[in-house]
Amino acid sequence: MLNSLGLLKYTNLIYLMILVSGGLFIVSVIIDRRRFRNAIYLQLFIITGIIGLQAALYDTPAYMIINVVMVLMITFLLLIVPFLLIINGFVVVKREGFSLSNIVALLFGILIIGGEIGSLYSISGVGPADSKLYFCIILLFSILVFYLSMIFLAFMFYSFLIRIIPRRVTYNYVVVLGAGLIDGERVTKLLSERIDKAVKVYKRSKKVGCCLIMSGGQGPDEKISEAQAMKNYALTLGVDEKDILLEDQSANTMENLANCKQIIESREGGNSTAVVTSQYHVLRADVYARSLDFPTTGIGAHTAFYYWPAAMTREYAGLMRHYWQTFLFFYLLFVMPLILSLFQN
């Protein structure tokens, strides 16, 4: 496979790219683990690392094994993952109810399949003869799906990695992000797991003086604020009431973090802060905190396995909305030369 791609003669360059991408990733994580660019550096390191491994094992029995593994991985990503996303979408709707956020995985799976069909359709030459506009539309759509899929993989890899990167042990503040209530006054299973995790960090940090900040406003269908419901639950776990602060004016993650930052900055003493949320939500919370110049460390609480695909695609959609200008810029930077060359020929 490697030789058929004509890459074998560039082995030294590939090794250099491995060192550069790996170095960029390590340095960027050390500077700030909350940078989304870390995900891109990690993906470049993985891709160049795989190609470098193929080059190192060329003309050995292991080379064929690597190629077989690569073919299986590509087949899995292209053919199986989209259908798994669609199936998971139906599972989440059945268990959690129908909502736009619960069908994001299903829609993303359909989008990927549509992009793959579009690519095959354009490559096959089917369609109006000599129609550059037709081909251009299919090409733009196919590249968009490929672009979004590759960045999603980068986001997914780094979301898992960021959970195991070493972090400090004790904090002055532990922010818990809200996640809806049952019957308008009781915490959900998802939210209780966030609080359980936060209380563990709080008890470990009591020696340095630690406060829990329960963050979440009151929705139109809720009897009390999420923050108050979270406090009520934390009290049953043995948390001292004097160590619980409420932030009950927020309606989304960005407001959660912005309001908690104001609370912490208005108080004296240390300000080392952990933000506890669900595992899938850690990276987006970290990115938002960084955009607010709010020094935090994200800590993830357990999330049910079946919920991961839907949650990850929703988080990715949130990051795309946050970074939409950057996403659009690099997409246009990539496709414009192709479109111009197409219409010049």
Q: For tokens 């919370």, name the residue.
A: 285
Structure tokens at 234: 């934390």
Mean pLDDT by 10 residues, the chain (345 residues): 57 87 95 92 92 81 80 78 85 77 84 82 60 76 87 91 83 93 88 95 90 93 92 94 94 95 93 93 94 94 82 89 91 82 67
pLDDT of amino acid 125:
59
Instruction: Give the Cα separation of 300 and 161 in Å (integer).
Output: 12
pLDDT of amino acid 5:
54
Three-state secondary structure string covering 154-182: HHHHHHHHCCCCCCCCCCCEEEEECCCEE
pLDDT for 13-53, tens place per residue? 888 999 999 999 999 999 999 999 999 999 999 989 988 88
pTM: 0.82
Domain edges within the chain: 1-59, 80-161+306-345, 173-303
pLDDT of amino acid 91:
84
pLDDT of amino acid 177:
96
Count other C-beta atoms under 10 Å from residue 99's C-beta: 10
According to CATH, the topology of domain 173-303 is Rossmann fold (3.40.50)
Instruction: Give the Cα separation of 57 and 55 in Å (integer).
Output: 5
